[in-house]
Amino acid sequence: MRSRDGNHSFLLSICSIIFFNSLVLSASEYLISYRYVVKDATLYNESLSISKSMQKCNGTPQNALILPTESDTNLKTVIAKNSEEFIDYIHKLNLHVEHNDVTINAQYKSTTILTLKTTCFEVDFNDNFVKIAPLK
C-alpha cells in the first residue's frame, strides 16, 4: 500500500511552484522614456513617456523602486503623485547627458539634455505600494 507521507512533500512543492509563478506572472511590463532639456539655466522641456509593453521584455529585474499607492492601478497617476522620487530614481539609471556651451560676442549660451532611452520596466502593483524595476 502507498504511504500518504511521501506524497505530502511532492504536493507541497507543486503548490509552492504554482504560487510563486503566479506572483511572477502578475507583474506587468512598461516602456518608459524620459527627456529633460535645460537652456541657459532654465528648464525648457521635460517629457516622460509611459506605455504598456506589447511584447515580453527580456532581462532580469535590477534594483527596484517602491512607491506608495492608494490601490491605484494606473502607473501614470502613481508616478505623477510621486514624481520627485521617480525622477530621482531614473537619474541614477543609464541617463545620457549631452551638454553644449558656446560664447559668441560675450554672450554665453548653454544647453543640457538628459535622456533616458526607452527602457523596459517590470511593474508589480500591490494593495498599498507599487514595485518598479528596470530589466537589464
Contacts of 81 (CB under 8 A, 6+ apart): 69, 72
User: Which tens digit of pLDDT belongs to each residue from 39-73?
Assistant: 998 999 999 999 999 999 999 999 999 999 887 78
Quote the domain boundaries for residue 123: 28-134
Residue 9's pLDDT band, with cuts at 50, 70 and 90, is: low
How far apart, in whole angstroms, are the C-alpha atoms of residue 88 and residue 91? 5
In a domain, 72, yes or no: yes
In a domain, 89, yes or no: yes
In a domain, 10, yes or no: no
For residue 26, the model assigns a pLDDT of 55
Q: How many structural domains is the chain composed of?
A: 1
Between the alpha carbon of residue 116 and those of residues 14, 17, 92, 108, 126, the distances in Å are: 41, 36, 10, 27, 26
For the ranges 33-42, 67-76, 111-120, the lowest mean pLDDT is seen at 67-76
pLDDT of residue 104 exceeding 80, the answer is yes
* DSSP single-letter state for residue 96: E
In a domain, 38, yes or no: yes
Smallest CA-to-CA distance from 93 within 126, 125, 130, 61 is with 61
How much is the average pLDDT of 108-115? 93
How much is the average pLDDT of 23-39? 81
For residue 20, the model assigns a pLDDT of 46
Instruction: Please give the grid coordinates belonging to residue 78.
Output: 502613481
In a domain, 4, yes or no: no
* DSSP single-letter state for residue 50: E
3-state secondary structure of 93: coil
Q: Where are the alpha helices (DSSP H) in 37-74?
A: none
Residue 21's pLDDT band, with cuts at 50, 70 and 90, is: very low
In a domain, 12, yes or no: no
- The neighbouring-strand residues paired with 102 are 109
In a domain, 93, yes or no: yes
For residue 45, the model assigns a pLDDT of 93
- The neighbouring-strand residues paired with 120 are 31
For residue 25, the model assigns a pLDDT of 47
In a domain, 16, yes or no: no
